Amino acid sequence: MKPLLPGLSRVGTDAEVQAARYLIAFTVTLASMMELVDTSIVNVAIPHMMGSLGATLDEVAWVSTGYVVANVIVLPISGWLSNWFGRRNYMTLSILLFTISSFLCGNATSLEGLVFWRIVQGLGGGGLISTAQATLYEVFPREEAGTAMAIFGLGIMVGPMLGPTLGGWITDTASWPWIFYINLPLGALALLLTLMVVPDSKYGARAEKVDALGLLLLALGIGCLQTMLERGEKLDWFASREIVAYAIVSVTALALFVWQELRHDHPVVQLRILHDGQFAASLVFGFLVGGALYSTVFVFPVYVQTLLGFTAWETGMVILPGALASGFTMAVMGRMTANTSLDLRVFVVIGACIFGYAMWQHSLFTVESGWDDFLWPMILRGVGLGMVFIPLNNLALGNLAPQEVTAGSGLYNLTRQLGGSVGIASSATLFQQFQQANRAELLVHVNQFSAATLARLAKLKALVISHGAPEMLAQAKALRLLDGMVMKQATMLAFERLFLLFGVALLAALPLLLLMKRGHFSRQGDEATAH
């Protein structure tokens, strides 16, 4: 496959690729981070979109849902698309589509137009992560593979964290269309650098036929699954006919998809690579890592903004030290994993334990907690995830042949993304259940026979009267204040249980390491597969 614009190409020989490998790493990481930021950047701007477009909350939610659904549909087929178009061309087309649709999202004057261009944007950005990861594994020598993944991992970790903060700042200082316009200069830079430095894969083999039925079944199955996860909590899960329909269609389509891919000579997704036990176990572990990453990114801002009154910008500043700690840890891990005498599984165990300890510290937060209380738990959380991320990437792809890496990367990133979606959906549902259960338990001790309750109610009544409330209304207002205090404590306890659950979930995945080998990735230039 010839490049789209051959005249711009400056990198071709192996020596040129090696010389430009860090610029290549910057390029593909920039593209991936840009795509990840857009998964969450719109969330804080939704109220502004509702007012501007005259849409309800349920309608405008499709601006976020449509993007994520399109994203996960493309992820598993990114390897096939990369082979079909050529990796350099595919990345170029993806960035171009993402950037143009970003401009059209900002220019949208109707909800329908905005949702349509968000879907197109998701289709453009969906393959960037796995293609970037496969590119780095191929262009970096074996001893620097960990360093490459550290650069890439920093974008993966910072992207989801940066989205809400950046979106809040842009929306407050400008207007919501600018959360899309900011992609234009970044997209232009990524596009130019991709044309100049990103090489084609030496292992890509274009399929002779298009598995159209497989594509259709995958889009239907993954699309319905992701939509179900996005809307399940809002629609009360399986009490809703819509959610039941999504579930039935998803299960049926995915079952038929697996059958189709295993019998087709040119499958759109190479499911046969799942015969490697290490890769299959890594998918499950990656699913849980995705859940831990995205769930904490989802729950912590809700906690500090609803109970502590933090703004989006203040929330971002609290999260930033953890993101920086994660980046530093991944840089160190990149160096350490180059030593093939070290067992990567040990780092995963240590990282999971540090993350579990950080989540235990999170579970001790209260409604009175502040910046000083958050600093070290957030840093430890970043260190823990950083220690898990790099070794697990190597463990996931370590046994795959060079020509299987792009397909494997697509599946691995898909499971991590789905893990995040399941984690967020589960967190939202469990939060409601924990909150209600905690409130019921607290109310047992808040009654007319409790001396402490009567004393607190009397103080509240006096406070209300001192602020000018009539005597006859003071009791009712005091009761409402007391109920609000109970709900606040019930909410805090729900957050504490969720944080502890995140840590336990990742620790529970550690037995999967018994199915993995030491997991060092072989040099992509070698024709032999990784050991």
- Whether residues 509 and 476 fall in one domain: no
pLDDT at residue 449, as a whole number: 62
Task: Give 88-115 pLDDT, tens digit per residue.
Answer: 888 899 999 999 999 999 898 888 899 8
Q: What is the pLDDT of residue 380?
A: 94
Same domain, 425 and 291: yes
The 10s digit of each residue's pLDDT in 50-82 is 778 887 766 777 787 788 778 888 878 887 788
* pLDDT 10s digits, 240-264: 898 999 999 999 998 998 888 888 7
Placement of tokens 């994660």 in the chain: 326
Tell me the one-letter amino acid at 158.
V
Q: Is residue 121 domain-resident? A: yes
Q: Tell me if 385 is assigned to some domain.
A: yes
Amino acid 42: pLDDT: 77
Look at the block and give the residue holding tokens 């309750």: 453
Angle (deg, nearest 10), helices 21-40 and 87-107? 30
Q: What is the pLDDT of residue 518?
A: 63
pLDDT at 531: 33
Tally of domains within the chain = 4
What string of DSSP letters covers 127-156?
THHHHHHHHHHHHS-GGGHHHHHHHHHHHH
Segment 143-198, tens digit of pLDDT: 776 677 777 777 776 776 677 777 777 877 888 889 899 899 999 999 999 988 88
Are residues 103 and 238 located together in one domain of the fold? no
Residues 283, 376 share a domain: yes
The mean per-residue pLDDT over the stretch 512-529 comes to 58
Query: Which of 191, 207, 223 is a domain's end point?
Result: 207
Is the domain of 27 the same as that of 120?
Answer: yes
Determine the average pLDDT of the residues in 219-229.
85
Write down the pLDDT at residue 339: 67
Neighbours of 217 (CB within 10 A): 22
Give CA–CA dist 230/245, Å, rounded: 14
Look at residue 527 in the predicted model and tell me its pLDDT: 40
Interval 459-502: pLDDT, tens: 766 766 676 666 667 667 776 776 677 788 888 999 999 999 99
In a domain, 528, yes or no: no
Please work out, in degrees rounded to the nearest 5, the angle formed at the alpha carbon of residue 489 by the alpha carbons of 487 and 494. Answer: 95
Instruction: Give CA torsion, residues 165, 232, 436, 420, to 10 deg.
Output: -40
Q: Return d(Cα 60, Cα 71) in angstroms, integer.
A: 18
Instruction: Report the distance separating Cα 26 and Cα 150, nearest Å.
Output: 11
Query: Are 292 and 236 contained in the same domain?
Result: no
Instruction: Specify if 317 maps to a domain.
Output: yes
On whether residue 526 sits in a domain, the answer given is no
Residues contacting 451, CB < 8 A, separation 6+: none
- Angle between helix 21-40 and helix 111-125 axes, rounded to 10 deg: 150
Same domain for 104 and 25: yes
Is 408 within 8 Å of 386 (Cβ atoms)?
A: no
Q: Which of 247-261, 445-459, 517-531 has the lowest mean pLDDT?
A: 517-531
Quote the CA–CA distance of 436 and 6 in Å, as a whole number.
62
Give me the pLDDT at residue 454, please: 66
The Cα 356–Cα 372 span in angstroms is: 20
Q: Could you give the percent of the chain with pLDDT greater than 90?
A: 16
Q: Between 213 and 483, whose confidence is greater?
A: 213
Q: Are residues 339 and 389 in the same domain?
A: yes
Q: What is the domain extent for residue 220?
A: 211-267
Asked, for residue 120, whether it belongs to a domain, the answer is yes
Note whether 249 and 203 are same-domain residues. no
Biggest CA pair distance of the chain: 86
Full-model pTM: 0.77
Distance CA 161, CA 322 (A): 10
Place of tokens 């160190």: 332
φ, ψ dihedrals at 272, nearest 5°: -65, -20
Cβ 136 vs Cβ 159: under 8 Å = no
Res. 404: pLDDT tops 80: no
Last residue within a domain, chosen from 177, 192, 207: 207
- Let me know if residue 527 belongs to a domain: no
Residues 102 and 162 in one domain: yes
Least confident of 319-333, 338-352, 422-436, 443-457: 443-457
pLDDT at 134: 79
E strand spans, 397-486: none
What pLDDT shows up at residue 208?
Answer: 63
Handedness of CA 152, 156, 157, 162 (dihedral sign): positive
Q: Is residue 72 part of a domain?
A: yes
How far, in Å, CA of 352 to CA of 502, rounded? 11
